């Protein structure tokens, strides 16, 4: 028995009768199952010490000495408490923790910029503006290239703004000749997050709330461009990228990003081309980058409950603030502008390959794994849900069709079995 979850109402190729579902039901089921993953820890109750006042007309020298010692200890405790609460507090003008699922307002005309000086926390406004400009230009060039490769469908564009500043622009293609679904989303967010939630949505061990008072929500600025491409042909891999820049009101800033590939079958030449493209870029900027960021991708894109990776990785980095911001910006820019060079030739090469129904079914099962990772583990999804992002944009990454087959076992020695070995033991392709 099998189930195909239909995320859109476009007919999908199916070998046998199947049950179809709207995206809302599929998402609600998975989100409900992992509701705890998106919860914000409750505020801890801190016990307060109190000392009973003592009065005495006659007190021995020993008692006086003991009283002085106790008073000194109490003073030290108060001093420690004062140190603990030191730090910046979120201003009255800071946005609420959840800016609201429906707080975006659609606009017909695309604003010249979504980054305005004076909006959000104080920070590096020139970098904010420069990063948004880079993302806008890349969104236009990438969607044009993908439309040319598809040769049929075009991207639908939606724009929106928020009252407290920021907004976004989504470009989504569906029902293409080559791509079942493809999207490239630009977002500019001015928001606030609880410190616990900010930590949960980012790299473990990194203090993103530095400079803020304990327990205080953290106002932030974020700008990013994210994309997922889902081709029809099982021999054309799915591709994802995300490049982003963050600032917090506490003075912390960082860059993050990466590009990764998720095929359904192994093709050595394709993987050498994709990974080789990004190795050249990494080596140009820092000889240690590729080894570090490739390994980071292999660690990050793990479906923990399956003990396998989502795909064949690429590069992934976060928390990059160890050098001049303009230097990291140039690295991010070159990575983003190389997406088409790394991915386009692979799709062109395989978009007309013949395939069997069994191979199509395997592709849909791998898409099911893709959905599992995105809804349970992906930081971008967690971040968007916790900050009240635009749902259509957050879930744009999901494919239109995916498949879950009960207790599916691959045949020993088959191409599918060889594929799974790579997912369980990531390889170095270059």
- In sequence order, which residues have a C-beta less than 8 Å from that of residue 164 and are 6 or more positions away? 95, 99, 103, 119, 190
262: its two tokens = 């998720």
The burial class, CB within 10 Å (0-12 / 13-18 / 19+), for 31 is middle
Q: Which residues pair with 221 in a beta bridge?
A: 190, 247
Place of tokens 């991010």: 332
Sign for the pseudo-dihedral over CA of 7, 9, 12, 16 = positive
Cα separation of 206 and 186, whole Å?
Answer: 25
According to DSSP, residue 249 is labeled T
Supply φ then ψ for residue 357, to 5 degrees. Answer: -65, -35
Q: What is the 3-state secondary structure (H, E, C) of 267-319?
A: CHHHHHHHHHHHHHHHHHHCCCHHHHHHHHHHHHCEECCCCEECCCCEEEEEE
Cα separation of 159 and 174, whole Å?
Answer: 18
347: its two tokens = 């799709």
Comparing CA positions, the residue from 356, 357, 370, 282 lying closest to residue 320 is: 282
Catalytic site residue from 104, 230, 240, 275: 240
In contact, 164 and 190? CB cutoff 8 Å: yes
Cα angle value 280/282/288 (rounded, 5°)? 120
- Cα 32 to Cα 113, 154, 370: the distances in Å are 37, 34, 18
CA atoms in the 13 A half-sphere facing the CB of 63: 7
In contact, 127 and 188? CB cutoff 8 Å: no
Supply φ then ψ for residue 352, to 5 degrees. Answer: -110, 15
378: its two tokens = 């992906």
Active site residue 290: no
Residues known to be catalytic: 240
């Amino acid at each position: 028995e099998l189930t195909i979850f239909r995320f859109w109402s476009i007919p999908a190729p199916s070998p046998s009768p199947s049950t179809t579902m709207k995206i809302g039901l599929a998402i609600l089921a998975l989100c409900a199952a992992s509701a705890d993953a998106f919860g914000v820890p409750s505020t801890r109750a801190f016990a307060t010490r109190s000392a009973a006042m003592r009065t005495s007309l006659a007190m021995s020298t020993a008692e006086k000495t003991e009283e002085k010692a106790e008073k000194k200890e109490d003073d030290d405790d108060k001093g420690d408490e004062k140190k603990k609460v030191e730090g910046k507090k979120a201003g009255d003008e800071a946005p609420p923790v959840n800016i609201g699922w429906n707080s975006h307002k659609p606009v017909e005309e695309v604003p010249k910029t979504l980054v305005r000086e004076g909006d959000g926390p104080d920070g590096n406004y020139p970098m904010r503006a420069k990063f948004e400009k880079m993302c806008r230009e890349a969104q236009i060039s990438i969607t044009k290239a993908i439309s040319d490769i598809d040769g049929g469908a075009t991207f639908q564009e939606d724009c929106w703004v928020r009252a407290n500043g920021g907004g976004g622009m989504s470009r989504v293609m569906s029902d293409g000749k080559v791509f079942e679904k493809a999207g490239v989303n630009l977002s500019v967010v001015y928001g606030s997050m609880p410190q616990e939630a900010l930590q949960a949505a980012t790299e473990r061990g990194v203090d993103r709330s530095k400079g803020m008072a304990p327990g205080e929500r953290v106002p932030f600025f974020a700008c990013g461009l994210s994309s997922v491409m889902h081709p029809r042909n099982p021999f054309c891999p799915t591709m994802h990228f995300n490049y982003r820049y963050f600032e917090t009101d506490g003075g912390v800033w960082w860059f993050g990003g990466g590009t990764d590939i998720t095929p359904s079958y192994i093709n050595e030449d394709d993987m050498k081309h994709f990974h080789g493209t990004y190795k050249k870029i990494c080596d140009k900027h820092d000889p240690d980058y590729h080894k570090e960021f490739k390994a980071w991708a292999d660690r990050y894109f793990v479906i923990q409950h399956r003990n396998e990776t989502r795909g064949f990785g690429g590069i992934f980095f976060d928390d990059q603030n160890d050098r001049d911001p303009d230097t990291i910006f140039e690295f991010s820019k070159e990575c983003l502008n190389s997406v088409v060079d790394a991915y386009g030739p692979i799709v062109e090469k395989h978009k007309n390959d013949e395939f069997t129904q069994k191979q199509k079914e395997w592709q849909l099962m791998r898409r099911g794994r893709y959905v599992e990772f995105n809804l349970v583990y992906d930081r971008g999804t967690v971040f968007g849900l916790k900050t009240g992002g635009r749902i259509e944009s957050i879930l744009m990454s999901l494919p239109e069709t995916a498949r879950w087959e009960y207790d599916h076992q691959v045949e020993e020695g088959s191409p599918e079995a060889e594929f799974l070995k790579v997912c369980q033991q990531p390889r170095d392709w270059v």
